Amino acid sequence: MMRLPAAWTVCAALACASVANAQGLAFSVASDVASTNGGFVLQEELHRLDAGVRRAAVALEFMNLLVGDADGDGLLDDAPSDVDAVHWTGLTGPASFLWSTTANFNAPGGLTVLDGDVFQFTDVGVQVIFPEAFFQAATGTTTIDVDAFAVAPDGTTYFSFADDETTTSASLAAQNGGATLDEQCVFRIDPGQTFAMLHFTPAQVVGMFNTAYGASATTVVDVQGLELDPFHPGDLLLTSASAATAFKGKVVSSFGGGTPFVLGGTEIAPAAFDFPATSLDALCLVGSAPPPTLRAPQFLPSSATSAPVTLVATGFAPFETVQFAFTDAKMPRATFLEPTGTLGYGWSPLDPLSPMFAASLTHPQLTKTADAFGTASFAFSPAGVPSFVDAAVQVVGLGSFALSTPAGISFTP
């Protein structure tokens, strides 16, 4: 018999935090999309929506730091190609989320994370929590790709696959009406069990979307995101790959046979975002306040150019004095530490023993004052910086002691 993952009870305990007092919605997009406020929302990133404001929760330049230099080329550019599924754990720091990606990726040290694995970043690396083999054994399938998952407080786990799969399970085939499990299926594994049940059939899923939005579709293509409904225990939130205007970029609750999901008085639909209607992918609720965010869009600058690299920190108090801090990034992967007395993100990949650390904390050009919107920026020229130098960057509010999310920068020839 397939054994339950050792982390099962831990995940079950943490799952309570992901739906109680939901403050924001974390999500990824199915394909890159241009933001109306400038820049792009990338499929490799996790963003969050809080009270109508979108902010990167784990930007690409942050994800690169979490993964590290997996291919040994001296650059921090090995983030997974796409975020497929995510679940908020309630922990702080790198372990804040459980993840699944759309394709296999490598981590430093030789670990290959499969597209069917559910994994977690730690302070020192990557840990697989629910292996692909667990989902395969539970459904009688092979080489699956987990596309969506959510864990309930009692340990009940819900999930969906990215593609149609063939099952050898007589029980699932009977529930499904055939051996081909459609990518619109939602499965359930009950606490203490190692086999999956069919929780929602494709027809039930399509019916929920039709009921919620007054449509008459015959398919929503694929269930791409799952979460527990925080307002209706026992019900789920779903998002789909449908390109139909009625469904695209929308989140539906299974409550009442299908209801548009509303969080904080805002319906989760394209009008809530600052980008055109696009399919959402990963989906989870977050209960913690968003930390300040650091963006480094030019995270692979060339040492041969003098074009400025601009770092932008958002989410600080208006007119707060903030400090940008740099150190060399420990390779192949930075260790995340939890400095005492800090708020915000609360963890740091900066090397406190690096000479750059003390120097950056006292450099006058790295001390900035946030504007009336709580935004501060720092620009520098990469010209002359040696190639293959890697830096970790973070910002701290000198009044709030809030740490921003970090970013990695690698200087190329």
pLDDT in tens, 307-326: 999 999 999 999 999 999 99
Residue written as token pair 């003098």: 306
| Residue 123 and residue 159 in one domain | yes
- Residue 1 domain-assigned (yes or no): no
| Residue 280 and residue 342 in one domain | no
Task: Write down the pLDDT at residue 1.
Answer: 35
Q: How far apart are the first and last CA of the chain?
A: 53
Task: Write down the pLDDT at residue 19.
Answer: 57
Task: Write down the pLDDT at residue 8.
Answer: 46
Confidence tier at 20 by pLDDT (50, 70, 90): low
User: Is the pLDDT at 174 greater than 60, yes or no?
Assistant: yes
Query: What is the overall mean pLDDT for the chain?
Result: 94
| Residue 314 and residue 251 in one domain | no
Under 8 Å between Cβ of 278 and 239: no
User: Is the pLDDT at 38 greater than 70, yes or no?
Assistant: yes
- What percent of the chain stands above pLDDT 90? 91
- Residue 53 domain-assigned (yes or no): no
| Residue 326 and residue 240 in one domain | no
- What percent of the chain stands above pLDDT 70? 95
User: Is the pLDDT at 14 greater than 80, yes or no?
Assistant: no
pTM: 0.94
The residue from 256, 286, 316 where one domain ends is 286
User: Is the pLDDT at 119 greater than 50, yes or no?
Assistant: yes
| Residue 281 and residue 376 in one domain | no
Instruction: Please report which helix (H) or strand (E) contains residue 27, including its range.
Output: strand 24-29
Mean pLDDT of 95-121: 97
Maximum C-alpha span of the chain: 69
Q: What angle do CA 371, 325, 64 make, to 5 degrees?
A: 100
The residue from 259, 286, 313 where one domain ends is 286
Under 8 Å between Cβ of 237 and 227: yes
Sign of the CA dihedral running 352, 88, 230, 207: positive
Task: Write down the pLDDT at residue 5.
Answer: 53
Distance of CA 162 to the CA centre of its chain: 17
| Residue 377 and residue 242 in one domain | no
Q: Which three-class secondary structure state does DSSP give residue 51? A: coil
Residue-wise pLDDT tens digits, 283-302: 999 988 999 999 999 999 99
- Residue 318 domain-assigned (yes or no): yes
Higher per-residue confidence, 20 vs 125: 125
User: Which domain CATH number covers 366?
Assistant: 2.60.40.10
User: Is the pLDDT at 39 greater than 50, yes or no?
Assistant: yes
Residue-wise pLDDT tens digits, 204-252: 999 999 999 999 999 999 999 999 999 999 999 999 999 999 999 999 9
Task: Write down the pLDDT at residue 341.
Answer: 95
Instruction: Sort 137 into a burial class: Cβ within 10 Å, 0-12 / 13-18 / 19+.
Output: middle
| Residue 380 and residue 274 in one domain | no
User: Is the pLDDT at 363 greater than 80, yes or no?
Assistant: yes
User: Is the pLDDT at 48 greater than 70, yes or no?
Assistant: yes
**How far is Cα 18 from Cα 15, in angstroms, rounded to an integer?**
5
Confidence tier at 21 by pLDDT (50, 70, 90): confident
| Residue 265 and residue 387 in one domain | no
- Residue 180 domain-assigned (yes or no): yes
User: Is the pLDDT at 376 greater than 60, yes or no?
Assistant: yes
- Residue 3 domain-assigned (yes or no): no
Tokens of 345: 């993100």
Mean pLDDT of 143-171: 96
Total number of domains in the chain: 2
Instruction: State the DSSP code for 358.
Output: H
User: Is the pLDDT at 190 greater than 50, yes or no?
Assistant: yes
Upper half-sphere CA count for residue 205 (Cβ side, 13 Å): 29
Confidence tier at 138 by pLDDT (50, 70, 90): very high
- Residue 21 structural domain: 8-44+80-286
The residue from 251, 286, 321 where one domain ends is 286
| Residue 172 and residue 26 in one domain | yes
- Contacts by residues 112-117 (CB-CB < 8 Å, ≥ 24 positions apart): 113/80, 115/84, 115/145, 115/146, 115/162, 116/143, 116/144, 116/145, 116/146, 117/146
- Residue 247 domain-assigned (yes or no): yes
- Residue 166 domain-assigned (yes or no): yes
| Residue 90 and residue 150 in one domain | yes
Q: What are phi and psi of 110, to 5 degrees?
A: 100, 0
Sign of the CA dihedral running 309, 313, 318, 324: negative
| Residue 401 and residue 267 in one domain | no
- Residue 66 domain-assigned (yes or no): no
Mean pLDDT of 256-277: 95
| Residue 300 and residue 369 in one domain | yes
**How far is Cα 58 from Cα 404, in angstroms, rounded to an integer?**
11
Region of 230 please: left (phi>0), alpha (psi -120 to 50) or beta. alpha
